[in-house]
Structure 1
Amino acid sequence: MLKDVASKLKKANSIVVLTGAGVSTASGIPDFRSSEGLWSEDESREYYMSSDYFYHDPVDFWNKYKTIFQMKLLKDYTPNPVHQFIKELESDKDKVTVITQNVDGLHLAADSSHVIEYHGTLNQASCPECGESYSLDYVMSTETPYCQNCGAVLKPDVLLFGDMITAHDEAEQAIQTADFLLVMGTSLMVTPFNLLPHYAKQEVGMEAALINREPTVKDRLFDYVVHDDLSSSIEKLRSYLSSL
């Protein structure tokens, strides 16, 4: 099956790659939504990580936000071979677009040229009043980050519960012009991100492959389905591609 996927990747001029938490776990970042993840430990986390709670109590929001995302905010993580493989695909393609659920910024750290951060990013925050952007270093330099221009409490650029998805149209546009869809490391449980494979298959008529450790509810949408460890699958894919 992976040989077939490698052949499709080799022939495609433009590829869209959808990625989820499974891509970053090899970098040591936990899957917050897995059965053993942080979100399953305490359902109230979803309330505290909501846009409603930010506007209700922005000071306490930042306290909880930094606690919940502490491991990611430490920025001790670096791109792993999966991120690097996606970057390598660019070498002989017109375009490789990454559409990621992950907010850790590792695709950009791996120098992928076209990245759509579907759920935003932990790497910066913006002022909800004047729109000024601030780096993660500034956010972490103070307990509650305030805008230096207007004094409002900054809002993280990660998508909070209750926020509107703003990247969906951009993601669909990227799919429209691609030849092949590769989906990796996601259970495809989160809407509307999980509608993108539907769009690729039913609206665009694109061939698609899924590589994920566990079966997903969307497996039927894919021409090629591989249930295996992502890191070892990528190692095999890289080997197959080099022989083509």
Structure 2
Amino acid sequence: MPESIVILTGAGVSAESGLGTFRDAGGIWDQYELEDVATPEGFARNPALVHDFYNTRRENAALARPNAAHEALARLERLLPGRVTLITQNIDGLHERAGSRRLYAMHGRVDRAVCAACAHCWPSPPQLSTQTACPACGQSTCRPDVVWFGEMPYHLDEIEQALRRATQLVVIGTSGTVYPAAGFVEVAGQLGAYTVEINLGRSEASDAFDRVIEGPASEVVPAWVDEVLESW
């Protein structure tokens, strides 16, 4: 089987771009109740609050810039064409802006909107509100095109196929606690893939990996990419 590297990234890969993580001490879930701003039920109770939350996330993402980790992963994809698949839990769009193209954003994108009435998707304006009308059907039923807790992540069929082909799975900057992504290491390992975790420190899932690399993403991810390219 041809070598295939599957990479899963979480909020830790964007932390050095100035975007907050979610589950670390001082992270976003220390400041908000996820039930209020990241569930369909929260949106039904108080859509204005949810729009305000994601308007801030959208503004922060627009001001952020890809860091050396994003750029290194895009370089790996470019230099190993057809061999690298990137899966991200992030909604900030920084991988795409760094140049990654073979990419599945399993939790959606904060810079896109979706209509709850007709399912039309479009680039989001900087501010969404309960009055924002869908450009396709005209109804004011829009929401951020992001996956909330209790909803099905995007691209699961494609991700499953990528994991089945993987000879190496690399998980970068994620707590390893949110499913289904938390189960990727078990699936890939059972299928014979070599598994690597890259994180600022050890996570709850570290023991499940063949190799653990600790350090800031902007330093250790480019070093790992160089190592891969030298051995290819």
Q: Residues 51-70 of structure 1: matches in 2 within 5 Å?
A: 51-67=40-56, 69=57
Q: Which of 37, 43, 62 pairs up with 2:27?
A: 37
Q: Check if 1:82 corresponds to 2:69.
A: yes
Q: Residues 157-236 of structure 1: matches in 2 within 5 Å?
A: 157-202=145-190, 204-236=191-223
Q: Which of 129, 145, 152 pairs up with 2:117?
A: 129
Residue range with higher mean Cα deviation, 104-113 or 54-63: 54-63
Q: Which amino acid aligns with 2:189?
A: K
Q: Which amino acid aligns with 1:49?
A: A
Residue 14 of structure 2 aligns to a residue in which SS?
Answer: helix
Q: Which of 8, 11, 14 pairs up with 1:21?
A: 11
Q: In the aligned structure 1, how far is the partner of 2:22 from the partner of 2:102?
A: 25
How many angstroms does 1:179 deviate by? 1.9
Q: Deviations over 1:9-61 (max 9, x none)?
A: xxx73210011111101211111321111211233x43233211323443443
Structure 1 residues not aligned, in runs of 5+: 1-11
How many angstroms does 1:206 deviate by? 0.7
CA contact (8 A) 1:13 1:93 kept: no
TM-score, length-scaled by structure 1: 0.83
Q: Deviations over 1:188-218 (max 9, x none)?
A: 111221011111012x111111111111222
Number of aligned residues = 228
Structure 2 residues not aligned, in runs of 5+: none
How many angstroms does 1:236 deviate by? 2.6
